[in-house]
Structure 1
Amino acid sequence: MKKLLLAGVLLSVSAVALAQGNRPAAAGAPQPPRAAKKPHTVPSPNGAREDAYYWLRDDTRKNPEMLAYLKAENDYADALLAPLKPLEDRLYAEAVSHIKQDDSSVPYRRNGYWYQSRYAAGANYPIMERRKGSADAPAELLFDQPAMAKGHNFFALSDMEISPDNRLAAFATDTVGRRQYVVRIKDLATGQLLPDTITDAEPNLVWADDNRTLMYIAKDPTTLRGYKVMAHVLGTAPATDRVLYEEKDDTFQMSINRTSDDRFWCVRVESTVSDEQRCAPLATPAALTLFAPRARDFRYQADHMGTRWIVKTNRDAKNYKLVTLADADAAKGVAAWRDLTPASDTVFIEDFTPFAGFVAIDQREGGNRMIRLLGDDGRSTPVKADEPAYQMSLSINAEPAKTDWVRYSYASLVTPTTTYEVNARTGERRTLKVAPVPGYDPANYVTERVWAPARDGTKVPVSIVYRKGTKRDGTAPLFQYAYGSYGISTDPAVDPARLPLLDRGVVYALAHIRGGQEMGRGWYDDGHLLNKKNTFTDFVDVTRYLVAQKYAAPGRVAAMGGSAGGLLMGAVANIAPKDYAVMVAQVPFVDVVTTMLDASIPLTTFEYDEWGNPAQKAYYDYMLSYSPYDNVTRQGYPAMYVGTGLWDSQVQYYEPAKWVARLREMKTDSNPLVFRVNMEAGHGGKSGRFERYRQNAEAQAFVLQQLKVAQ
């Protein structure tokens, strides 16, 4: 095919845009690029579709024609956003001013050592260290991540596991952003790396008790699916590593972990609606035993403490319950399970950690996440909160068999994340750390929880924050965020990047729409598969409610979502474009049908129970009816900022690239459309703690301009 030259991308708006129905840009204004259209048919069992921008997909990421188009988009974004650079710099400086430069984590004890990470002033990456015997002992350097990151445009150290004898550290790093990790092993006595090198792995490692055998998960290099659990013996070639378990069903993903009492390790495979777990003593790691066989709509997760197993399960409990069984009854399977907690229609169990004598339960009720302590004597004690919208979650509890103290974190939209520990026996609570937010006074801000009626009568919880003095008279700008997929809940917390918006009078709203699990498993069921459109209409209905209640002015509403939340943005842009002045869609999943038809794309096979399998006509038709890319029409759209990473392994860069190309072709408005392509990053953007604030500041400057907020 003829190569697309850069000059050919930057076509004259009078020659192209007018012919396509777009209004001409002002004289001298930067001209948006136009991607070439090339015939391509996407086959499926339920009919073929034409996709003129399919050519933008290049799995090698080397096609010069494709790269030229992405460069043209970045050049256009640079030119269009150049006048906003001073505002971007101010927003970045303001956000970073609320970050403690030389911050450190709360130390935790494990196996005789206290572990901690800390940042030096100005550093993008932390130093990881430990102290023997006491949190005040001299520090021993584990990993100097700033030094490790030098020479890399991207760097992530995503797992570190210390051997039981405290001598070795296995760790997983990614220097591309593709989430294809390399596992190395460091001798902590000498500081030297051992020659053992494992590639294409998940960042999920477990040592056996012999201090020589490391279990890890191997990834398929094409689909990036973790599919084999391997055992590596130090000093041997990875090619000779033993396969301990292989998952043949490509709709399942896997993880490995130690139990809370360090007696067993477990292989857990899970899909959206089914789990299966195998466990073995850490002394004999190859002797894996099936805990309970998989079955559709049967989910469970088992942990061990003392002489019993504790299991979180949805068996006869849609919102999950905890059951227990003695070691001696483990071979009897589910017949031996005995309830620890009852099934509930209002309380959803998110997670749990077993301690000696009690269980700490992480649960949701009324849209909030909270902690409850359940003693072996049956006594149940909730940990109280004083705000209307908040979150609690279990923190690092590294030695639950040896302590009565439970660590947890608390946060709200005005209260900085605070780490506490509470004594399950006495009720005493201690504050371990309040996350420092320099230049921030919680007393200057207000948080609320409101319930917005959806069009089907469902009440949707919304967490709101604004600066005191912001008038609720229908004149304020609103920034609304949501995710709403995979059962992932969006919980409130203070974000330094949000404060510059609040200080300029912007009202911020977290819409806890269906598709998450804020209100329980039914909240998720009502927002996926053939109910997915509830996610989109919930978001729109929340906006209209907030405007009607005078939290915001019509025409001054911004919306943002990322990944599956980017799908939300694309769908909402198609069905309710007039409700929003501007939208931000980061790494958006917008070409739903084409992606779900291609099993070679990472994540596709895992997600049939999330979106549906388009090989089945009912799902194909439903997905096609909302897929943002397929439903772009000749209408006006809000101003839009779209971001992606060339090396994204979760949502491939070509999805937003194609979507933007089609929007440029079809939209009839003169609102700006910015497509920012990070050429050196993956799904999470650039690495480093400050980089996300820089990227965020560019999008925020664009949003504030479109909302006509004083800068």
Structure 2
Amino acid sequence: MYRRQALYIAFLGAAFLQACSPANQSSHSDSVKAPVAEKIPYEMTIHGHTRIDNYYWMRDDERKDPKVLSYLEAENEYAAQKLVHTEELQQTLFEEMKSRIAKDDNSVPTRDGEYFYSTKMRGDNEYPIYVRSTDFEGTDKQVLLDVNKLAEGEDYYSLGTLAISPDDKVMAYSEDTVSRRMYQIKLKDMETGELLPDQIKDTSGSIVWGNDGQHFYYIKKDPQTLLGYQVYRHTLGTKQQEDELVYEEKDTTFYTGIAKSKDDSKVYIIHDATESSGVSLIDANDPNAKPVEFVPREDGLEYSIAKHGSDYYVLTNLDAVNFRLMRVRANQIGDKKNWEEVIPHKADTRLEDIELFDEHLVYKQRQRGQTQVFIRNLDTNNDQQLTFRDQAYTLYLYGNNELDNDSLRLYYTSMTTPGSHYDVSLDSLDKTLLKQQPVLGDFDAENYASERLFVTARDGAEVPVTLVYRKDKFNKDGTNPLYQYGYGSYGSTSDPSFSSNRLSLLDRGFVFAIAHIRGSQMLGRPWYEDGKKLNKKNTFNDFVDVTKALVEQGYGAKDKVFAMGGSAGGLLMGAVINQAPELYRGVAAHVPFVDVVTTMLDESIPLTTNEFDEWGNPKEKPYYDYMLSYSPYDQIKKQDYPNLLVTTGLHDSQVQYFEPAKWVAKLRDYKTDDNLLLFKTEMEAGHGGVSGRFARLKNTALEYAFFLDLLEKEKR
């Protein structure tokens, strides 16, 4: 309903690589020595237990320590040297992926008030141009922001929010040029195009206007923890120091967000923790309004709201583990006893989202892993279900900004269907295809097949798996290379979707698999609950058991299995290779959250306090013991490990760079094999990696080349 990532040496290394001829690159690579990190024992004692961290010195919150930077650069140089022979392959893959993307492309316009908003990409531009028009066809397009110009001279650039005042006189936008997700808000006069003197720093990036067009709301972040916790009201023409503090979150386990009701009458302050949530309301018409709590917050109570006339619809877990929909009169908020049921709870179905229109309610639910969408006529209460042909797909509702729409906007994709944008009649359910993402070249969806199957895990749980492969490259005889992806945390569900980049693997014979492991909500809220806190090991066991099953069933060769995960999925990779390293030929762990115990014991590290309900609080001994038993960094063993590619960003705000840095250093000390262990740090990027639509492809090309090269080594 509204909604954790020395220069001189580098120069010499680059010059040396250019001097290497293809004939001697491989032999030279074999002789390159890996960096050996200094050991400086650091003791940490809690619950009568002492751990020794030899690499704690790698933490530098200022990111300026020459010793730390020198080590990261040495690892970058080592990775470059070991992969120098793959540079041609990397470039080939990069060009392949880039060639499938339309250089000139437009998004589908979405209506918001009197205008239709969209973006356009042009030529080799890395960033979009934001435009609007008074009609859907875009006959009078007006450029709002050219992000390419804003990003000039920046190593990294991210546009957060673009919000235009209700009187159409001022445009506010937020930008991050460091990749720490600390946004600065700027204001632009819509008539003159000039920037106003107002500048708001250290924000979450969110912007919500009051209806008078003279003030807006934003969220201030703590510069140490990066937690957004204060909601301010800014009046145009004043300094940030004069802004009014409207709300301050005192509980550091909660995130704070802001949004606006579809009828523009209310500003929502959203309070969101892992196992509790709530909303406070501000009158958008009153520049002096104070927030009013929708209902008192309770531990374990989760809800979100949508305003519809004189009613609020409430999507909640109240007496409903898989959520149900309630309704309450606007003049009866404040007590959940006044809530009346609209859609009852179903034990086997997770109610996920709703959209409201003047005469219709749209609700999205998930049953046995499959998304379903129903449209209810509010006058007759009759429900109609949308149908789709793929057996596994992804569907999002988006751009439904107005109550008086007569159609529903949605985005649809599957493992074989490129992203498709539809308008669906709310009465007849007729679908109008507005756009399908173009895939240039010789792509034909009929050449590919997707499957959904269930794997029995070691404890009897049925784990969904989605597969895709190229038909003429696949034989179910255990000969194909297998690429397995997983995440399994925060209730985030990795739905099956199309990727044109992935074609570079499928066309080379790979089978691609998504393991929908516990910790996600693929099979409802209980699937999430069974994969967090003291049940977290189910996540790792599921992934390993899926790998074994796919090999046993002939979907992949046992010596050609590759795995990838990022962030909390990087934790998954770390736990999996400690448990069953023999299953994987190569593993890519991107921005991996691997030092779980140390991080969760340190509340000064960004996001820590917000995640006690996800991982547990190790200050309590049962959680400490359990987390320690799977923490990838703490559980490194003297054993063989797969070939590993590890990546991070120096400015990562979600998983601090020193977690993977320490993990790699300790792995080098412990591992008993000669397999590759490569570590690359983007020195100007954060959790999401480099910015730009084409620049990002280079990281994907690097990962794919790493895996493909491991296959080629078997032939050499």
Which TM-score tier does this pair reach, normalised by the shorter chain? over 0.9
Contact 1:407/1:421 (8 A) holds in 2: yes
Q: Contact 2:408–2:424 at 8 Å: present in 1 too?
A: yes
Letter in 2 for 1:388: Q
What does 1:378-389 align with in structure 2 at a 5 Å threshold?
378-389=381-392
- Deviation, 1:43, is 3.6
Q: Which residue of 1 aligns with 2:463?
A: 460
- Which secondary structure state, in structure 1, belongs to the residue aligned with residue 689 of structure 2? coil
What's the offset of the Cα at 1:132?
A: 2.6
1:591 and 2:591 are equivalent in the alignment:
no
Deviations 1:457-505 (A, max 9, x none): 1111100000012111111100000110000000111112111000000
Aligned-partner Cα distance in 2 for 1:495–1:419:
16
Whether 2:686 is the aligned partner of 1:682: answer yes
The reply on whether 1:351 has 2:353 as its aligned counterpart is yes
State the one-letter code of the partner of 2:37: A
Displacement, 1:42? 2.2
Q: Deviation string for 1:496-536 (max 9, x for gaps)?
A: 21110000000000110000011100000000000000000
| Equivalent residue in structure 2 for 1:47, among 34, 49, 64 | 49
Does structure 1 retain, via aligned residues, the 8 Å contact 2:109–2:116?
Answer: yes
For the residues of structure 1 that align with 2:294 and 2:122, how far apart are their CA atoms?
A: 45
* 1:318 corresponds to: 321
Does 2:699 align with 1:695?
yes
Number of the residue aligned with 1:152:
154
SS of the counterpart of 1:48? strand
- Residue of structure 1 in register with 2:452 after alignment: 449
What residue identity is the alignment partner of 2:110? Answer: Y
Letter in 2 for 1:577: P
1:277 corresponds in structure 2 to 279
Indicate the residue corresponding to 1:14 in structure 2.
Answer: none
For 2:409, the aligned partner's letter is R
> Do the aligned partners of residues 176 and 590 (structure 1) sit closer, same or farther apart at CA in structure 2, a change above 3 Å counting?
same
1:185 corresponds to which residue? 187
1:88-103 equivalences under 5 Å are: 88-103=90-105
Instruction: Report the equivalent of 1:30.
Output: 32
Give a deviation string over 1:591-649, Cα, whole Å, max 9, x none.
00000000011000000000000100000000000000000010000000000000001
Report the CA distance between 1:46 and its aligned residue.
5.0
- Name the aligned partner's letter for residue 311 of structure 1: V
Q: CA deviation at 1:362?
A: 2.2
**Aligned counterparts of 2:312 and 2:35: Cα–Cα separation in 1:** 60
Match of residue 574 from structure 2: 570
Note if contact 1:96-1:496 (Cα within 8 Å) is conserved in structure 2.
Answer: no
Alignment of 1:160-309 (within 5 A): 160-284=162-286, 286-309=289-312
The code of the aligned residue for 2:448 comes to Y
What's the offset of the Cα at 1:134? 5.1
Show CA shifts across 1:386-412 (max 9, x none).
11111111021121x111211011110
Q: Is the 8 A contact 1:370 1:391 kept in 2?
A: no
**Contact 1:104–1:118 (8 Å) recurs in 2:** yes
Specify the code of the residue in structure 2 equivalent to 1:244.
Answer: V
CA RMSD of aligned residues (A): 1.7
The answer as to whether partners of 1:44 and 1:597 remain within 8 angstroms in 2 is no
Alignment of 1:428-577 (within 5 A): 428-439=430-441, 440-469=443-472, 470-577=474-581
Is this contact kept in 2: 1:46–1:620, CA < 8 A?
Answer: no
- CA distance in 1 between partners of 2:138 and 2:234 (Å): 35
Gaps in structure 1 of 5+ consecutive residues: 11-24
Indicate conservation of the 8 Å contact 2:29/2:82, yes or no.
no
Identity %: 45
SS at match of 2:700: helix
Letter of the structure 2 residue corresponding to residue 685 of structure 1: G
Q: Does 1:656 align with 2:660?
A: yes
Q: Which amino acid aligns with 2:266?
A: F
Contact 1:361-1:371 within 8 A present in 2 as well: yes
User: Is contact 2:30-2:82 (8 Å) kept?
Assistant: no
1:650–1:683 CA contact under 8 A, matched in 2: yes
Q: How much has 1:287 moved relative to structure 2?
A: 2.9
SS of alignment partner, residue 133 of structure 2: strand
Q: Please give the secondary structure, in 1, of the residue aligned with 2:188.
A: strand
Contact 1:116 1:128 in 2 (8 A): yes
Contact 2:132 2:138 in 1 (8 A): no
Counterpart residue identity of residue 346, structure 1: D
Q: Distance in 1 between matches of 2:48 and 2:412?
A: 49
Check conservation: 2:587, 2:642, Cα contact below 8 A.
yes
What per-residue deviation string (whole Å, max 9, x for no partner) do you get for residues 46-76 of structure 1?
5331101000000011111111110100000
**Contact 1:98–1:438 (Cα < 8 Å) also in 2:** yes
Query: Within 5 A, what are the aligned runs for 1:63-78?
Result: 63-78=65-80
Query: Where do residues 578-657 of structure 1 align in structure 2 (5 Å cutoff)?
Result: 578-657=582-661
1:44, distance to aligned residue in structure 2 (A):
3.1
Could you report, residue by residue, the CA deviation over 1:282-331 in whole angstroms, capped at 9, with x for unpaired residues? 10252321101111111000110112100100001111111111223224
Distance 1:370 1:141 in 2: 37
Query: What's the secondary structure of 2:333's corresponding residue?
Result: helix
Q: Aligned letter for 1:294?
A: R
Q: Distance in 1 between matches of 2:580 and 2:111?
A: 52
Please report how far the alpha carbon of residue 188 of structure 1 lies from its aligned counterpart in structure 2 after TM superposition. 1.3
Secondary structure in 1 matching 2:449: strand
Structure 2 SS opposite 1:432: strand
CA distance in 2, matches of 1:192, 1:484: 46
For residue 340 of structure 1, give the secondary structure of its aligned residue in structure 2: strand
TM-score (norm 1): 0.95
Counterpart amino acid of residue 616 in structure 1: E
Contact 1:557 1:707 in 2 (8 A): no
| 1:335 shift after superposition | 1.1
Q: Name stretches of at least 5 consecutive residues in structure 2 with no aligned partner.
A: 1-5, 14-26
C-alpha distance in structure 2 between counterparts of 1:597 and 1:702, whole Å:
35
Q: Which amino acid aligns with 1:653?
A: Y
Shifted more, 697-706 versus 73-82: the winner is: 697-706
Aligned equivalents of 2:151, 2:623: Cα separation in 1: 44
For residues 286 and 138 of structure 2, the distance between their equivalents in structure 1, rounded to whole angstroms, comes to: 36
Q: Which residue does the alignment assign to 1:84? A: 86
Please tell me whether the aligned partners of residues 418 and 431 of structure 1 are also in contact (alpha carbons under 8 angstroms).
yes
Cα distance, 1:27 vs structure 2: 9.1
Q: What is the CA deviation profile of residues 207-262 of structure 1, one whole-angstrom value per residue up to 9, with x for unaligned ones?
A: 00110111000000111100100000001110011011000000000100001221
The 3-state SS of whatever aligns with 1:430 is strand
Cα offset for 1:6? 7.6
Q: Helix, strand or coil for the counterpart of 2:118? A: strand
Secondary structure of the corresponding residue to residue 558 of structure 2: coil
Secondary structure at the residue paired with 1:292? coil
Counterpart CA distance in 1 for 2:666 and 2:238 is: 52
Residue 262 of structure 1 aligns to a residue whose secondary structure is: coil
**What displacement does 1:334 show?**
0.8
